[in-house]
Amino acid sequence: MMKLSANVLRLLSVLALTCVTSCADENDPKTWVKRLDDPAQRTPAIKRLDQFFNDAMSGATGANKREDEKVKKLLDDAVEPLTKAYIAGGLDEKTRKDLIKLLGDMADPRAATAYAKAFKDFEPGKNDDDVKYASQGTSRLAAQNQATDQALVDALWEVFAKFQPSKNNKSINLVKDLQGAVLAVKHPSYGPKAVEKLNAPVTDPKDPAQGMDQIQFWQATAARLVGELKFTGAVKALVKVLMTPTKGDLIFPVRLALTKMPKEAEPVLISALKGTDPDFATLASGYPEKAYIPRIAEPIAYISRPAGREAILEALAAADNDSNRTILATDLTHFPSDAKSVKAYLDAYAKVPPNAAIPLLGGGNGHAIIAQAAANFFDPSLTEWLLKETAAAKGEAADAMPPAALQAAIKLMTTQNAKAVGDQVAKIPGKAVEKDMFASAEKVLTQCKQDAACYVTFLDAPVPSTPPAAKMGHVKAAWMAGIYGNAETKNALVAKVEKVKDGSLRLAMVEAIDHLSPQGDAPTADKLEKIVESDKAAGVNAATDEVFKIALKLRSRVP
């Protein structure tokens, strides 16, 4: 056998190496995956793999593009080596960011350890973008029900618990992405930890370290989180937040969280309203004019259960200032209507001075506020009372009452008293919008009279876009369907809600559905919540928040 010289062997080795590097298939992701092991080729390899991924996703079809065969094959080939490269470290800053961004975009559970490392290594101002991209990837995993790695779950909470938006000057989106990831993962282990956040004291909400970090970031997220988890162990902490003056900016997420746990929240809220719990009684002492009462009463009203109504009736009877009296009266309209509630409502109105301003409601006239809310009782007998009080109003109330009370009267009027309403509306000077509202409402009233099915059918007609008052005919139809309707009417209204995109009409329809569901209705609540989810996904806001609140109310009323 012929022996090859050393020079020939060296030449062959060079040629072989050259073939490895230059003869490789540049369009095969595996070629670039292999180059991740070479520090000199790692950066271009990451860029090329990013191109492969984006091209594969662009060409993929179907609802879940990551299930496309080409995408799946690329992920199978690349995710683990890319994750290994990130964990190994030793990358320059730009390459490291590009790598974790790619892994975040890939949203593969095999990248969980890379996300966890990004969270654990967080140092403000140094690797903010790493946390941002890891948060995005974690949220995508959660959306696929794949954020199950406990190390990732724990690391996410750790970075959330120490992250301070007040000290973040690198990425505005980082705050939202990190918060979003925690809410998307919503792991059960987060419940007790969220309670710890809610219990943290706030002495000066104007201090960025407290207002921005504690209130807007940690505690607002914690409130939303325990609501999503329905973590009942947080109920008392949530009510304490409502009772804490320095945490006023948390009212809305806290109320929403409580209404998601109605049966557990109601007795605790009632104990706060009555002052029977010493902890709440101590907090109540920090409020002048018992201003904590409206904070506690509203979630009770939206929970809308019998025990809560009795508690509000008791508080209303004992109310000793006009603000609390006015607000508690309007809270009664969130419960199923009955004679006892209506009487208490009218008694409260009589106790409020005609020209009383209500500071907690923007300084509005107390009589006008109560009168306007009366429509939500769906009780036509209140029409005469509304007309009488409008005619008797003097001073500031004479200006405030007509637009409030007459709009309520227009909603409630029947064929028997429509003329009286029209006569009172006609007395408003000038081209008042109430005149157009009345004309629009009277038309449908004359057409359908006491026929609930006729009113439901009327809702199929296009909603006039101009003038705004013209849509009152549709609102009136929804109201009368509630007044004259039954279970069949309710089902017909529910079937139409999704098609209606006008916010004022949709609100009227769900108010009618609410009125027709005194014992609650879980299947209807399910349907309304699906509509809300669909609208949010489509970026539509047609009274979405109110539809969701009504859905929660219907669910909580179920015995």
261-276, pLDDT tens digit by residue?
999 999 999 999 999 9
Among 282, 210, 303, 276, which residue's Cα sits nearest to residue 248? Answer: 210
One-letter amino acid identity for 279? Answer: D
Q: What is the pLDDT of residue 366?
A: 96
Tell whether the model's pLDDT for residue 489 goes beyond 70. Answer: yes
Q: What is the pLDDT of residue 170?
A: 65
Question: 203 lies in a domain?
Answer: no
Tell whether the model's pLDDT for residue 15 goes beyond 50. Answer: no
Q: Which residue has the higher pLDDT, 297 or 396?
A: 297
Rounded Cα gap, residues 42 and 143, in angstroms? 31
Q: What is the pLDDT of residue 447?
A: 97
pLDDT tens string 53-86: 999 999 888 778 888 899 999 999 999 999 999 9
Q: Do residues 218 and 173 lie in contact, with contact meaning Cβ atoms separated by under 8 Å?
A: no
> Which residue bears the tokens 């966890």?
116
Q: What tokens were used for 509?
A: 């329809």
Among 259, 323, 333, 262, which residue's Cα sits nearest to residue 294? Answer: 323
Rounded Cα gap, residues 86 and 112, in angstroms? 11
**Please, what is the Cα angle at 141 between 112 and 80, to 5 degrees?**
35
pLDDT tens string 352-377: 999 999 998 999 999 999 999 999 99
Q: What is the pLDDT of residue 6?
A: 58
Rounded Cα gap, residues 324 and 491, in angstroms? 36
Question: 287 lies in a domain?
Answer: no
Rounded Cα gap, residues 363 and 50, in angstroms? 58
Identify the band that residue 1 occupies on the pLDDT scale cut at 50, 70 and 90: very low
Tell whether the model's pLDDT for residue 8 goes beyond 70. Answer: no
Q: What is the DSSP letter of 417?
A: T
Identify the band that residue 160 occupies on the pLDDT scale cut at 50, 70 and 90: very high
Range of the domain at 530: 451-559
Rounded Cα gap, residues 54 and 33, in angstroms? 16
Q: How far is C-alpha 156 from the geometric centre of its chain's CA atoms?
A: 22
Handedness of CA 512, 514, 517, 522 (dihedral sign): positive
pLDDT tens string 495-537: 999 999 999 999 999 999 999 999 999 999 999 999 999 988 8
pTM: 0.89
Q: What tokens were used for 386?
A: 């509304």
> Which residue bears the tokens 């970075």?
159
Tell me the β-bridge partners of 357. 365
One-letter amino acid identity for 96? Answer: R
Tell whether the model's pLDDT for residue 12 goes beyond 60. Answer: no
> Domain tally for the chain?
1
Question: 195 lies in a domain?
Answer: no
Instruction: Write out the H or E segment, with its range, that includes residue 96.
Output: helix 93-106
Tell whether the model's pLDDT for residue 253 goes beyond 70. Answer: yes
Question: 462 lies in a domain?
Answer: yes
Q: Do residues 434 and 399 lie in contact, with contact meaning Cβ atoms separated by under 8 Å?
A: no
Q: What is the pLDDT of residue 2?
A: 45
For helices 382-392 and 418-426, the axis angle rounded to 10 degrees is 20
Tell me the β-bridge partners of 358. 364
Tell whether the model's pLDDT for residue 11 goes beyond 70. Answer: no
Q: What are the φ/ψ torsions at residue 364 (nearest 5 degrees)?
A: -65, 160
One-letter amino acid identity for 1? Answer: M
Question: 318 lies in a domain?
Answer: no
Q: Do residues 141 and 193 lie in contact, with contact meaning Cβ atoms separated by under 8 Å?
A: no
pLDDT tens string 234-244: 999 999 999 99
Separation in Å, CA 84 to CA 253, 361, 422: 40, 58, 77
Tell whether the model's pLDDT for residue 428 goes beyond 70. Answer: yes
Q: What is the pLDDT of residue 13?
A: 55
pLDDT tens string 310-335: 999 999 999 999 999 999 999 999 99
> What is the rounded average pLDDT of the residues 426-451?
94
Among 367, 363, 347, which residue's Cα sits nearest to residue 408? Answer: 367
pLDDT tens string 196-231: 999 999 999 999 889 999 999 999 999 999 999 999
Question: 185 lies in a domain?
Answer: no
pLDDT tens string 371-404: 999 999 999 999 999 999 999 999 988 999 999 9
pLDDT tens string 41-56: 999 999 999 999 999 9
Question: 390 lies in a domain?
Answer: no
Q: Do residues 345 and 332 lie in contact, with contact meaning Cβ atoms separated by under 8 Å?
A: yes
Tell whether the model's pLDDT for residue 17 goes beyond 70. Answer: no
Average per-residue pLDDT for the chain? 93
Rounded Cα gap, residues 404 and 38, in angstroms? 75
Residue 202, phi-psi category: left (phi > 0), alpha (psi -120 to 50), beta (remainder): beta
Question: Of all residues in the chain, what percent carry a pLDDT higher than 90?
Answer: 85
Say how many CA atoms lie within 13 Å of 96 toward its Cβ: 19
